Amino acid sequence: MPTTPATAANSSSNGTAEAIMLELVDENGTTIGTAEKLAAHQAPGQLHRAFSVFLFDEQGRLLLQRRALGKYHSPGVWSNTCCGHPYPGEAPFTAAARRTHEELGISPSLLAEAGTVRYNHPDPASGLVEQEFNHLFVGMVQASPDPDPEEVGETAFVAADELAKRHAEAPFSAWFMTVLDAARPAIRELTGPSAGW
């Protein structure tokens, strides 16, 4: 992983796990402080910066991931290509590209900003709360995913008409439909009308 001021400040040189810090924001997305990741997600939740990535192949199919069973938050559920949190001081675009590579072993051939969305989604299973100011990104991918098994259980490329069926058959993350709906205008622009998004 390339070292930037943000990643250097959030990694440990002796190999021990360090607390992961998130950027707290106000309702306008202005940074107002930091909080430890788990603390920020404990009810009622603290509003923090996040990102969501939607990558598509050349057929206009969306790359989904099923979150690894070992994750403490929303394990085993399907979600968008990649989501996460920038380190304090890290640009959301940089964080989105970094985490996509760390989780899925791929780099987008195209990645573009697609707006922001603010939401508050409790996760009944864990009791944690997603209180997020989320930066959305859409893009293209040409390589096959090579997921980190600690992060991702499996992946699938799905067409728009397959998504509803898959969503009815398997659990999806609490935030998935919110971020997908917010990103739809940019997704339609990227994939074209024939893809059906």
Cβ atoms of 179 and 84 within 8 Å: the answer is no
Residue 24 vs residues 42, 109, 132, 145: alpha-carbon distances, Å: 14, 30, 9, 31
Tokens 């380190």 sit on residue: 87
How many whole angstroms separate alpha carbon 186 and alpha carbon 111?
Answer: 11
Mark whether 83 is an active-site residue. yes
Residue 60's identity, in one-letter code, is G
Annotated active-site residue in 23, 90, 130, 132: 132
C-alpha Rg value of the chain to the nearest Å: 16
Respond yes or no: is residue 23 known to be catalytic.
no
Q: How far apart are CA 147 and CA 102, in angstroms?
A: 8
- Distance, CA of 60 to CA of 67 (rounded, Å): 22
Distance CA 7, CA 95 (A): 9
Q: Which residue of the set 83, 90, 103, 130 is catalytic? A: 83
**Which residues are known catalytic residues?**
83, 132
